């Protein structure tokens, strides 16, 4: 299943059969840890510096002292990419609180663990990208910032998993979570964009969305292309009446949405999506994409 995968664990590349952490690791027992997903194209990690800065911020936010500095983590990422058989792939960078005794007190963990996995990842089949994703608005609400700040990429994704289960039961490809005020937050593993009246719109992070790196890249590309855009609060009504809708993320890259709760988009994929997809593909495959570490 993972015959092409490569793992760097706590200082060295290890065979997959040896890539193990303890059952007493608090990342497993309590979701006590943080992670990043990073794409690499032609053996060059995309937006590596931004990912490592967000990784460090997530760790600081939960008072997790990373066992390696950013330059060492970057070197671990590059060693994992170099050991991977393919030119393109997906990286999962994870730091856990480490092995401890039973009980949630993090003081019982002697040293954090850090690992990097390189493997393949496809969020949706190619057929879904071509026809557009079918999306439902989940009954499961995004956890509010006073419970768990959405800017922390923690190992506890149960909130999103429950929403994804709703999508599975509905026969949909993805679910969109609302915040506690009933406004659009994000997908289960992606950010949400719509086009209404020719304007590209996306919820601001204050609404419960992760400050996605691909999301920020799309906003930069929209600005460079002269596409009117804004961060605004959105309700399900805005999704239902949009001309276009699409999802973005490191894993997702760009995915057009065909319908939301059975309401078809006017265009799928639409002209704004096509332009941004073209610009994104040019960015990640062209000579302009150089290593940023």
Residue 132: per-residue pLDDT: 96
What's the pLDDT at 124? 81
Express each pLDDT in 195-234 by its tens digit: 999 999 999 999 998 899 999 999 999 999 999 999 999 9
Beta-carbon neighbour count of residue 100 at 10 Å?
21
Which pLDDT does position 286 carry in this prediction?
75
CB 120 within 8 A of CB 151: no
Pick the CATH number of 126-285 from 3.50.50.60, 3.40.50.300, 3.20.10.10, 3.10.20.740: 3.20.10.10
pLDDT of 288 over the 90 cut: no
pLDDT of 289 over the 60 cut: no
d(CA 282, CA 221): 11
DSSP assignment letter at 16: G
- The alpha carbons of the chain give a radius of gyration, in whole angstroms, of 19
54-68 per-position pLDDT tens digit: 999 999 999 999 999
Any idea which residue has 């304007």 for tokens? 199
Evaluated on CA atoms 52, 67, 40, 255, the torsion sign reads negative
Tokens describing residue 203: 């919820």
- 3-class state of residue 45 by DSSP: strand
Neighbour count for residue 282 (Cβ, 10 Å): 13
Cα separation, 217 vs 221, whole angstroms: 6
Give 255's pLDDT tier (boundaries 50, 70, 90): very high
Rounded Cα gap, residues 164 and 172, in angstroms: 9
104-117 residue pLDDT tens: 999 999 999 999 99
Helix (H, G, I), strand (E, B) or coil at 283: helix
pLDDT of residue 25: 97
Helix axes 271-285 and 213-224, enclosed angle (nearest 10):
110
Question: pTM of the entire structure?
Answer: 0.93
Q: How far apart are alpha carbons 260 and 242 in whole angstroms? A: 10
- Most confident stretch, 3-17, 188-202, 278-292: 188-202
Taking only the tens place, the pLDDT of each residue in 227-238 is 999 999 999 999
Nearest to 135 by CA among 110, 170, 103, 100: 170
Please give the average per-residue pLDDT across 82-106, as a whole number: 96
pLDDT of residue 274: 97
Q: Which of 31, 6, 41 is nearest to 214 (CA)?
A: 41
| Beta-strand relationship, 253-260 and 133-141 | parallel
List the one residue out of 122, 120, 97 whose CA is nearest residue 173. 122
pLDDT tens per residue, range 100-152: 999 999 999 999 999 999 999 887 888 888 899 999 999 999 988 888 888 89
| pLDDT(35) > 80 | yes
Q: Give the per-residue pLDDT at 291.
A: 53
Dig out the tokens for 113 from the structure: 């663990």
> What is the percentage of the chain residues whose pLDDT exceeds 90?
86
The closest of 177, 179, 195 to 187, measured between CA atoms, is: 177
Residue 1 has pLDDT above 70, yes or no: no
Topology of domain 6-119, per CATH?
D-amino Acid Aminotransferase; Chain A, domain 1 (3.30.470)
| Amino acid 76: pLDDT | 98
Residue spans of the domains in the chain: they are 6-119, 126-285
| Rounded-to-integer distance, Cα 43 and Cα 135, Å | 33
- Say what the pLDDT of residue 292 is: 62
């Amino acid at each position: 299943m993972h015959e092409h995968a490569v793992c760097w664990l706590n200082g060295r590349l290890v065979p997959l059969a040896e890539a193990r952490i303890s059952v007493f690791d608090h990342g497993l027992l309590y979701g006590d840890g943080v992670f990043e997903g990073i794409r690499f194209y032609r053996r060059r990690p995309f937006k590596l510096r931004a990912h490592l800065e967000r990784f460090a911020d997530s760790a600081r936010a939960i008072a997790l002292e990373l066992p390696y500095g950013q330059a060492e983590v970057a070197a671990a990422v590059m060693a994992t990419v170099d050991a991977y058989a393919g030119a393109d792939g997906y990286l999962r960078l994870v730091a856990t609180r480490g092995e401890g005794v039973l009980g949630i007190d993090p003081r019982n963990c002697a040293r954090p663990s850090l690992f990097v996995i390189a493997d393949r990842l496809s969020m949706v089949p190619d057929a879904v990208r071509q026809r557009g994703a079918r999306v439902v608005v989940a009954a499961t609400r995004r956890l509010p910032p006073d419970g768990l700040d959405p800017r922390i990429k923690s190992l506890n994704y149960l909130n999103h998993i429950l929403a994804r289960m709703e999508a599975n039961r509905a026969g949909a490809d993805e679910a969109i979570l609302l915040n506690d005020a009933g406004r659009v937050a994000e997908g289960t593993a992606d950010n949400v964009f719509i086009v209404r009246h020719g304007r590209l719109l996306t919820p601001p992070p204050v609404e419960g969305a992760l400050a996605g790196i691909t999301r920020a890249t799309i906003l930069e590309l929209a600005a460079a292309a002269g596409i009117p855009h804004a961060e605004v609060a959105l309700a399900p009504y805005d999704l239902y009446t949009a001309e276009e809708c699409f999802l973005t993320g490191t894993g997702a890259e760009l995915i057009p949405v065909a319908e939301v709760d059975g309401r078809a988009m006017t265009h799928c994929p639409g002209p704004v999506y096509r332009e941004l997809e073209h610009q994104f593909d040019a960015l990640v495959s062209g000579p302009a994409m150089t290593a940023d570490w």
